[in-house]
Each structure stands twice: as C-alpha cells, then as structure tokens.
Amino acid sequence: MNKIRLALIGFGSVGREFCRIIRERGSEWEDKFGCSFPITAITTASRGSLINPEGIDISRALEEITSHGRFREENPDRSDITSMEAAALDSNDVVVEISTLNIESGRPAADHISTALKAGKHVITANKGPVAFYYRELVELTRKADRRFLFEGVVMDGAPVFNLVRETLPGCTIKGFRGILNSTTNFILCSMEKGMTFEEALRNAQEMGWAEADPSMDIEGWDAAAKTAVLINVLMDGNLTPSRITRTGISGINSDQIRTAKRNNKVIKLICEGYLNKNGEVMGMVAPVALPESDRMAGIEGTSSLLELTTDLAGKVSIIIDDPKIGETAYALISDLLTICRQINLLND
C-alpha cells in the first residue's frame, strides 16, 4: 500500500467536496489502486489551518467549517502554518492548490506551486491562474523536479480536456479551438432568450449561486479569457496571458439584440476561440457571437459547456459537459490524484 500524503492550500467548496469524496471512496480506492490518501495539512486565508503528519480528522474539519465557518481553536490539529510553508512540508507528497483565483497575476497560487515543485512535491490544481500566466515556467520546474503538475479541472470542471489530448490524440497537433466555457454567461444569455432582461437574468444567476456578488469576472469575459489562455498555452504551445486575449464580455448585450438574433434564426453565445493568424502566430479571442441555430454551440443550454478542438489528423473533436456541479470539479482533482497514484505504483513495481 502506497501512502500518498496530501496538503490542501485552500478549503472552499471544491476543497471540501474533494475531502468528502476521499472520505467516502478512500477505502474502495485503497483496494482498487493500492494507494491511501491521508490529508496531512490544510491551510486557508481566513479560516485557520490544520496540520497532522499522521492525517487530519477530515470529518471534524468539515463539521467545524460547516458549523462555525472556521477551524476551532480546540481542534488538536490547529496550526499557524502558512500556505507557503505547507507547500514545502516534509509530511506531504502532493500539494492540492485550490486557493482563490487572482486574475491579475495568478499569484500567490503560482508561488505555492513553484515552492512545492522545488521541494519535490507533485502538484494538482483547479486554479486556472498559474496555468494562464506561468505555464512554461511551471512546466520547466516540473521537468527539473521530475514530478507531475496536473490541472484537469481548470477549464471544463470534470470533463477530461487535457487527458483527452495527452492520452488519446497522440501525434495530433491542435490547430485551433472554439467553445462555450463560462457557465454564468451562458446561463444569463439563455435566460434572456426566454424573456428576461440582462439585469433580471444576472440577479437570477446570483440567487442560484452561479454568479458572485461582484460578477465582473464572468460578465466582462475575464474567466473565459483565462480559460482561453490556458488552452492556448497547453494545447497550442502558445504563451499568452488573459490580458493578451482579445476580450469582449456580455454586459453590453440587451434584450433587443437577443430578439433581433432570434428573428434571424441566430443565438448569441459568448465564444472562446484559439487560432493561428496568417503569420502562424497563436491568437485568442473571447466575444459574444450571433451563431446560426444550426451550429451545435447554439444549442448549449444553461450552465453546460462545449469545447471543439480542431486537429490536423483526427479532424474536429468535441467535448460537452452538461450542467456541471461542484462535484465534477472536485472529481477532476481526484482524476489527477489517481494519475499520480498510478505513476507511483509503476515506479514501485
């Protein structure tokens, strides 16, 4: 049995769901994959931190956050350890970086990851910032450390975007892509098609938990631009940051535009695109586009997403995820963790 010790940096909804899944399925995976996954550290920005080299009491940690909003002082695992210290702890093998996205710089998440890699740790993350801003640097650190840096959940929740390309499209070159990759904006546009104003649709998205109190990250296209940068950097060997993606959000879309599009048998969607310009340079764009109703992307409803990859050898390959929930993003972290588990098993055979 290989014991793979985990340190979590961040303990929001994704981190808590990740822990619940491990608690519920861990015994099954010990039998199936030959690995156990004790969580030896959890750090947060405002809810306290925990550390126990033998494994934190996850049920207690989850209960304290649910009931009190933070880890209690009486918790025997309570600690003043910082996130940067946790990233380099001797008592962990894999760092799970799930702190809050910083769309302006990707930090401090990128610093957590680089610190962990330099300390010889594997890293998995659902934070798109580091991949959008520092992908090449982090890949080079990963190579030098002879470790894995995996991030399946940063673009399409639990949909296997990067695994698909890495494992099932060997020899293919990704020539471009387009997609609907932001759930909030698609939910708003679909609601407007049904007769709501932009303001009503946004308020509804906020009430249902899809949009934040400050929704600018979504409606101004920044989240979509970050995901576009990630796909360009990872799949097309580009080197773009979110600010270098041509970006137009949906805040300027009104009901008249929605109705006009409908009269012309079109549907407005926020489209992300990566492509090669006439000079062969990789470019990225995020913008509302009036699509013909016959376009498969026109039919993507609510919070669902679609990504279409254009390859040189396998033609066009599409991935759809329907109405994703927080569990799908947590599963992407699990998928990455089990990938590392399989690698460790192979090394130890």
Q: What is the pTM of this model?
A: 0.95
Is the peptide bond between 108 and the residue preceding it cis, with omega within 30 degrees of 0? yes
Whole-angstrom CA distances from 175 to 16, 67, 74, 102 are 37, 49, 55, 29
pLDDT for the residue numbered 76: 97
Angle (nearest 5°) at CA 251 between 243 and 226: 25
Angle (nearest 5°) at CA 331 between 147 and 62: 100
Q: In terms of DSSP bridges, do strands 305-311 and 174-180 run parallel, antiparallel, or are they unpaired?
A: antiparallel
Domain boundaries, the chain: 2-158+327-348, 168-323
Mean pLDDT by 10 residues, the chain (349 residues): 94 96 93 94 96 96 96 96 95 96 93 98 97 97 97 94 95 97 96 96 90 89 97 97 97 96 97 95 98 97 97 97 90 96 73
pLDDT for the residue numbered 253: 97
Q: Which residues pair with 268 in a beta bridge?
A: 290
Under 8 Å between Cβ of 93 and 77: no
Question: 2-158+327-348 in CATH: which number?
Answer: 3.40.50.720
Which top CATH class is 168-323?
A: alpha beta
Residues recognised as catalytic: 227
